[in-house]
């Protein structure tokens, strides 16, 4: 079985060998854990963003940057592709591990989740767990983790602290904006799973989303990045399933079905005090979803891209 921590370590070593090229900062904690900063104090950038997106996918996905016109709005986009969607997206890229140690808080994603089985029900569903002597975790955070944090994570992963690599990203950085938009295919699969579609029957996934301009306010920044997925995110999956099952869920799959659709995410989040748990579950979806059935050759599509709201979001 593929070890996603083993695959990801290859990407991590590229970052470590070329820190200046990627605009990152590398340091070691007293415990021996390696910290790779891509946007808290480090400049980071688009290239670092692509790398940490691939790290988040457990080394089982590829990314690139292109450009697209949303009417008269021209934006860079990140294109994401994986041939192992269940493992790379739900088993790795999903931000499924809440890290709380003392006053430190971060959302964790990446291959270390498959060692710690966070959350366990996801790995039971996709029938996967990893076994490896190194662990890599991507932390979306506003501060650097301490040795206590590193020790808690390494213990959960059953690895030595010196074999733990913590990648730090911030929503207010360019790299952070790239990696959030790079979650477009994962967001679409998460929605399909929520609707009862078996992720193990999804064979391939690809998609793209615009990379939103950075903003110094983290609340504004994360809202813009959510808009990239909701109003600009496009996904395509190749599946092995009955057509009737696809017809059953396709119209419910895109973000266009959300009761909040049509408003910039900042307005929606502000109305609920930035409590994400109060949002309509349909809001956690991409703008457009297409599914091709390998069994029948038929293709189904729903949703749309919304340049008007993207413009409103960028102007905020």
pLDDT 10s digits, 290-312: 999 999 999 999 999 999 999 99
Lowest mean pLDDT among 31-45, 159-173, 275-289: 275-289
Q: Which tens digits make up the pLDDT trace of 170-186?
A: 999 999 999 999 999 99
pLDDT for res 278: 87
Query: Is the pLDDT score of 226 beyond 80?
Result: yes
| Bridge pairing between strands 104-109 and 97-101 | antiparallel
Query: Is the pLDDT score of 50 beyond 90?
Result: yes
Report the length, in residues, of the chain.
316
108 pLDDT tier (thresholds 50, 70, 90):
very high
- Rounded to two decimals, the pTM is 0.95
| Largest separation between any pair of C-alpha atoms in the chain | 57
204 pLDDT tier (thresholds 50, 70, 90):
very high
User: Which CATH class, in words, describes the domain spanning 183-316?
Assistant: alpha beta
Give Cα separations from 237 to 98, 128, 202, 205 (angstroms): 28, 20, 7, 5
What residues are paired with 77 via a beta bridge? 66, 210
Query: Of 53, 36, 140, which is closest to residue 93 (Cα–Cα)?
Result: 53
Tell me the pLDDT of the chain averaged across its residues.
96
Q: Which tens digits make up the pLDDT trace of 232-251?
A: 999 999 999 999 999 999 99
Percent of the chain with pLDDT over 70: 100
In which order are the strands placed within the sheet that holds 97-101?
A: 25-28, 34-37, 164-169, 135-140, 104-109, 97-101
pLDDT for res 53: 98
In our burial notation (b when 16+ CB lie closer than 10 A, e otherwise), range 184-193 reads bbbbbbbbbb
Helix, strand, coil fractions of the chain, as percent rounded to 5: 40, 25, 35
Lowest mean pLDDT among 39-43, 65-69, 267-271: 267-271
Query: Is the pLDDT score of 316 beyond 80?
Result: no
Strand (E) or helix (H) holding 138 = strand 135-140
Q: How far apart are the first and last CA of the chain?
A: 46
What residues are paired with 36 via a beta bridge? 26, 167
1 pLDDT tier (thresholds 50, 70, 90):
confident
pLDDT for res 17: 98
pLDDT for res 72: 86
166 pLDDT tier (thresholds 50, 70, 90):
very high
DSSP of 100-122, one letter per residue?
EETTEEEEEESTTHHHHTSSHHH
Residue ranges per domain, the chain?
A: 1-63+83-181, 183-316
Query: Of 235, 224, 247, 211, which is closest to residue 304 (Cα–Cα)?
Result: 235
Tokens standing for residue 210:
């615009």
Second CATH level (architecture) for the domain 1-63+83-181: Roll (3.10)
Tokens standing for residue 291:
């599914």
pLDDT for res 104: 96
pLDDT for res 279: 87
């Amino acid at each position: 079985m593929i070890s996603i921590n083993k695959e990801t370590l290859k990407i991590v070593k590229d970052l470590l060998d070329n820190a200046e090229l990627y605009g990152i900062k590398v340091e070691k904690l007293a415990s021996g854990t390696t910290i790779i900063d891509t946007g808290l104090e480090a400049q980071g950038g688009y290239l670092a963003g692509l790398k940490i997106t691939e790290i988040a996918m457990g080394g089982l996905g590829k990314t690139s940057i292109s450009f697209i016109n949303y009417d008269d709005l021209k934006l860079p986009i990140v294109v994401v592709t994986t041939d192992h969607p269940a493992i790379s997206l739900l088993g790795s890229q999903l931000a499924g591990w809440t890290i709380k140690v003392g006053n430190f808080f971060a959302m964790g994603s990446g291959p270390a989740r498959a060692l710690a089985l966070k959350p366990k029900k996801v790995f039971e569903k996709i029938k996967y767990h990893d076994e490896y002597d190194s662990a890599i975790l991507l932390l979306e955070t506003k501060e650097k983790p301490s040795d206590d944090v590193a020790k808690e994570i390494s213990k959960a992963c059953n690895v030595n602290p010196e074999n733990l690599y913590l990648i730090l990203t911030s929503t207010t950085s360019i790299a952070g904006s790239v990696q959030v938009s790079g979650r477009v295919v994962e967001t679409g699969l998460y929605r399909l799973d929520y609707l009862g579609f078996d992720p193990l029957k999804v064979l391939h996934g690809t998609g793209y989303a615009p990379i939103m301009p950075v903003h110094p306010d983290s609340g504004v920044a994360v809202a813009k990045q959510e808009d990239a997925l909701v109003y600009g995110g496009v996904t395509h999956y190749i599946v092995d399933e009955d057509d009737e099952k696809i017809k059953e869920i396709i119209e419910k799959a895109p973000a266009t079905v959300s009761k909040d659709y049509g408003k910039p995410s900042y307005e929606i989040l502000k109305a609920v005090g930035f409590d994400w748990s109060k949002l309509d579950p349909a809001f956690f979806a991409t703008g457009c979803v297409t599914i091709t059935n390998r069994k029948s050759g038929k293709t189904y599509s729903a949703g749309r891209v919304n340049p008007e709201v993207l413009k409103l979001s960028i102007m905020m």
